[in-house]
Chain A
């Protein structure tokens, strides 16, 4: 009896501390976001003096109006969404096809191919060789130059492999006994059980694709194919460079501050909102749990 009471008291104390710590984490984490948001809604005079904290001063929507009126923004937004969705789909498909075999202990190529994947992660070829390959394959100035070269991340693939390895072997065995071949086992049985893993790397891929700038800068010539990062990134970086010759010669830009922040908001809000949507997939794998026991 005493033990239970002690435990409850300890538990309550623990939970209090826990909640406090997590709340502090939240406040620290949200600060930069509020800062950018406030700055994007503030007027020039207050921003110049550095007087804007997390509350907008001199509230106005001018910066957003400017950014949203930027030519090509609608089209490039569409492009970004397209690249993100299709890119993530391709990445997930390839990652699944890659991670599953590597997660099967009896697979003869397991060790060698895992090394192939990991070594690729450790070495980076750099821009020019990759560019030459992409061009050589005829992908220059096509959407495939955006979707293919970065389709598989070794890191994500290994993570997914790890998730597959945690699914009990009996599941596969049972499916095989029912006459499933490997493809069927993978897509019908294993995938649903690996949902948290898939959602995790799907999110990582989506974020990466959304923020991606370099491939588009290098491979795309046709302005109609360009994603939003290309259009807006220059605005954000401007004035931050140490290349003063650019600023000093080209004259001052008085409206830059709030525009920069509005740009960041416009470019990132959609992807920031994705996570709450996918959180629901992080519930305990009821099925796995009940098998493991």
Chain B
């Protein structure tokens, strides 16, 4: 199982990587990305992983902006500490997410879910998050 961790906080990303290894040491963390820009670049030149842990708040932008640049068909588990609005949205849309600090059991369950599942049939809709984004260009 190949995963990608997109997380702007250095120590948080390292912790998540460690926790994933705790679940299954064979899980391959393809990369740890800190910004949306880096992520887009990575996806443009790499195959889609089996699972993405995606923090909402990245160094340079919200992670949702990635979807507008590249088509992502990998399953995504969002991670968030305090974005209540986002969490409500995820619950509403049935999108998977994990609260930070991530608890090992919750992570395990999430990894279990996606360990053997196939890829998503359709890439994620780049606009489904528009409602909760306060775009600078609009304001």
* Mutual binders A and B: no
Residues of A within 8 A of B (CB): none
